[in-house]
Structure 1
Amino acid sequence: MERMTKLTTEGYHPDTTNLDLMSTAEIVKLMNEEDKKIPLAIAKVLPEIEQAITAIVHALKNGGRLFYVGAGTSGRIGLLDAVECPPTFSTLPALVQAILAGGEEAVMIAVEGAEDDLSLGEAELKKRQLTNRDVVIGIAASGRTPFVKGALIYAQQIGAKTISLASNSHSAISQYTNIAIEVITGPEILTGSTRLKAATAHKQILNMITTTTMIKLGKVYKNLMVDVHASNFKLRERAKQIVCDVTGVAYSQAESVLEQTNFQVKLSIVMLLTNTTIEEATELLAQSEGHVRRAVELRKF
């Protein structure tokens, strides 16, 4: 097993050996300067991120699912991204799932030893009946977490697409993936605390992955969340505003049409832009694979 001390993420930062003697102003300034390095590190792996998104879009279009697998902070970041997909894009909870070492209990409290068990990662994917249509992203700042490694090994064995997200070069988990995203953010100001730069970089990359994937799946029109799940007052008001902005109708008309469609923003927009019934607009969206622009264009012919 790789020695932790050899990992970049475990290295000593040369400018922070007197961190405990610094003033508050000095610490926050230093952290801010370090955080500026994150987008530069991500820029170096944009081609790999693009490859990952292309694979995920293909999988989701063909009945597959996306799984994030991680332990500790890495697992929680995967969870944070996964749980935002249903409200933002009206996806089913099963479409993007997060698997944490130690299960739901580990969200709030670390489960001792869970991340060190190679077999548990495989077991969790088996519970979810992983298939070769699915995609598994293993997240580990160190790039060596056994729980994540076990999940990726199993995913490869059954033919699922595998992707690693790590913060060390030539990481152990990347040996078991089709696409390796290794974003090198360097030593943390607090030695080994990868909840800082490494985790921030990973969150930004997951933002890119799910947002771009959902755009490609037709869940965005222009720069608007036309598949937003209007589950509360704020989101219902947002839905009305989106319909008004896109179609130019009055607030009252937007509200009326949304009530007819059970607050399906995309369907309401297509109805108004094409002057069609719910049934006709639904068919246009089906023919356009859910893309508003294509649905409207289809009506012109």
Structure 2
Amino acid sequence: MVCFAPALRFDQRHSQASMTLDNTRQRIIHEWSRAAPGWRHWEAHIIAFSWPVTHRIVHAMNLAPGHRVLDVGCGIGDPAIAVADRVGPAGRVLAVDPAAEMVETARARAEGFGLANIDFQVCAAEEVEVPPGSLDAVCGRWSFIFCADVAAVLARMRGFLRPGGRLAMSTWTPMENSPGFKIINTALTRQVDLPPMDPTRPGMAQLSAPGQLDAALKAAGFGRVGVEPVPLSTFARDGEEYWRMMCEMSCSLRPVLQGLTDSQREAVRRDVLAGVESFRRGDVLRIPAMAQVGWAER
């Protein structure tokens, strides 16, 4: 007698897992859509903060005029805009992001720079369709870390690349290396119990543990792989400006703050303002952070 029960149980587990992944994806898209106005408002600060990572990603892809490149999770247009400039009019960039509000700003910025070689599309990394082996490079600046199944997505990106093509991406390093983020997290944990940052789950901590990014790229089937740390600085006139920036830009801070009472939110704000003041350099705050950029060659 043939028993189909094991197969049925597998299908049920698979269905439940798919629902969990889809729910995670929809939650992240919702949070980033809500953060889009903040990214538009703080555009100049974001560029000043993130340009070292953008530069390293563009350099790591070994781009040349005429190359075809996919930017996954382009946000308000970076590094897609820098990539489009590097590959020139003969090249082409497909920039995708699941948050339509982000893509709207990215498109406006590209038009402002007079770039006609970028195509924008509203879709998630799991949904983008590109002919196998058709791309010279793929990139993602702090985007793959929000994928519910990052291993599957990285393997999928590898399939889009021609032999010798490169993927370049950024993640964060452990929070201890980014005191501005740690100050906020510490202030929050004084008011509410927060789960520890998990480098195996979607979010800013994913792939942040030592050796994790290197291992993920190799597990996706890439040959040559490299990872380098990238120091960054957030600039703000004072703690109030830094606090507003984080509240308006962070897709994870806002929902936590909404769950606090007014007095708890004020306590968090006061703690953050006091904590970042130690990073004052003259008339500006220079708050350090540490990212990392990984590259991999098919």
TM-score, with normalisation over the residues of structure 1?
0.31
TM-score, with normalisation over the residues of structure 2?
0.31
Of structures 1 and 2, the one scoring higher in RCO (CA 8 A, sep 6+) is 2
Between Structure 1 and Structure 2, the one with more helix by share is 1
